[in-house]
Amino acid sequence: MKPGYPHFDYVEGDPRYRTVVDALDAAAELEPDRTALICGDRQLTFAEYRRAVAGMAHRLAERYAPGDRIAMVMGNGIETAVALMGAYAARMQTAPLNPGYTDRELDRLIADVEPAAIACSPPFADRLRALAGAGPEDGGPKDGGPDLLTVGDGGIDIWRWAADESLSLPEERPRPEDRCLMFFTGGTTGLPKGAEHVHSSLDFFCRQTRTMWQLEYGGETVLNVAPMFHIWGHDFTLVFPLYIRATMVIVPQYRPDLVIGELVRHRVTVFAGGPAAIFLGLLGSEAIADADLSALRHSMGGGSPLPADLLERWHARTGNEIMEGYGMSEGAPICLNPTHGTRKRMSVGAVPPETRIEIVDLETGEQVMPVGERGEVRLRGPQFTIGYRNRPEETAEAIRDGWLYTGDVGYLDEDGYLFLVDRKKEMILVGGFNVYPREVDEVMMSHPAVAEAAAIAVPDDFLGEAVCVYLALQPGAEAGVEDLLRHAEANLAKYKRPKIVRIVEALPKTGPGKINKLGLKAMEAARAAAP
């Protein structure tokens, strides 16, 4: 197998859909009575799911034009799946946003999206109305802001649509080349950037994933705990289970005892666990000791490095190998360990169809490195982003001559399997979520007592990495660690907040006067090694 080239061809007979809307239509035709979505004590069949999506699509199409953007601030649930799919069927572009973001974070993202509407879960309605100047669902925008559509109790009732057998999907479907969503990731300027995707990229994702993870059509029950505003949660809750006509068990919030209970209750066959912290949490729960997990056949991991000890412990308890994979907000899959073929522990896997990977030198990004030598991972394929919204310079930097430069450092072995060893960027990976140090630095320096700030990654047994920030105070200023942590809490989502705050007299500098983050990492490593 030539390193960097696809390992497998598409599975013969696998369907190809123009869009995920067409996949929903097919699932409802082929298996109308099969349960599609389960969340707690509520569920929808594929036929009911299609009707609910049809109702949402018509509701949106009456008011918004194809190509209009809709931001979604929603927790995991059946309503979220219907809202996302309804927007796709209405030919809108969605921007799923993290409800856990602070007002400061959400305000910047909404301004960048410039949505015609914001769909939200009921608990977030008042906050978003005040934040975005949004008008009520039935009253139009206020002060030029977007409409606010509350989906759920007291707002849009998807269950009424699910029961209405007269409803059908709009005849005019989205086209494969239409923009359908964007996922936000960090930018070099400190501002998040929205990686835009078209409908065809979701179909390629499904077919490539099915090639590498050969799950059964109409025969799987999948559980995934990742949020649907994240590419893993979106693709493995909304898209891939729909493609293979699987029953999808949605957990509104990750709690290890709840997840274990749902794995047992629904005889889950595929657990799309994601980052290491999820598996560690389950293994640390008392509920797993007596749990009957005999139905579980496949466990999928990605989003953070999975330690060898974790892989051994999970296999010993469940009999499952965790099948590691590699993706990013810009697209997935990049690599996957196959269910039907060689699986290499500590590797993120082999190359899927129509995808190319090269390892290039860190200085110029042009010299292709030989097998076994480290360099930056660059890739190309039809499943990846078309660029970053409103970020032409960052798009040009990331996508060069058709290659997407990942910022990850790795190597290909002689069998063509990819191993990740470092990051060229200073990004911190906390439980599968990207934290960009510059954003943390800017928030901490907005505190009146702080003169300089520099965030670095430190190892964390549970989350993989955590944020540590070094601070130098203004001359004569006083601030305690607790005060600084409260400032971070008010301005950063939970996973971005520093776990460790170090107040020092001055931050180390390089020759040109830049903060020496390598020096800070060395200082922190010395602290950790000290008796």
Instruction: Check residue 308 and give its pLDDT.
Output: 81
The reported pTM is 0.86
Distance CA 427, CA 416 (A): 26
Q: Is the pLDDT of residue 231 over 90?
A: yes
Distance CA 168, CA 147 (A): 25
How far lies 139's CA from each of 119, 125, 134, 148, in Å? 15, 14, 10, 9
Q: Is the pLDDT of residue 134 over 60?
A: no
| CATH 3.40.50.12780 domain extents, the chain | 27-174
Confidence of residue 142 (pLDDT cuts 50, 70, 90): very low
Instruction: Check residue 294 and give its pLDDT.
Output: 96
- Residue 32 DSSP label: T
Q: List pLDDT tens digits, range 370-398.
A: 999 999 999 999 999 999 999 999 999 99
CA nearest neighbour of 465 among 456, 475, 473: 456
Confidence of residue 525 (pLDDT cuts 50, 70, 90): confident
Q: Contact 258/298 with Cβ under 8 angstroms? A: no
CA nearest neighbour of 384 among 354, 358, 349: 354
Tokens for 398, please give them.
Answer: 């990331």
Class of domain 428-529: alpha beta
Distance CA 224, CA 228 (A): 10
Distance CA 345, CA 326 (A): 13
pLDDT mean across residues, the chain: 91
Q: Is the pLDDT of residue 141 over 50?
A: no
Instruction: Check residue 424 and give its pLDDT.
Output: 67
SS3 216: coil
Select the highest-mean-pLDDT range: 75-84, 467-476, 522-531: 75-84
Q: List pLDDT tens digits, range 174-188.
A: 999 999 999 998 655
Instruction: Check residue 137 and give its pLDDT.
Output: 53
How far lies 337's CA from each of 51, 52, 130, 217, 411, in Å? 36, 35, 46, 20, 15
- Look-up: residue for tokens 């979604």? 72
SS3 418: strand
Q: Is the domain covering 27-174 a CATH 2.60.120.1130 domain?
A: no
| CATH 3.30.300.30 domain extents, the chain | 428-529
Instruction: Check residue 421 and give its pLDDT.
Output: 82
Instruction: Check residue 276 and give its pLDDT.
Output: 80
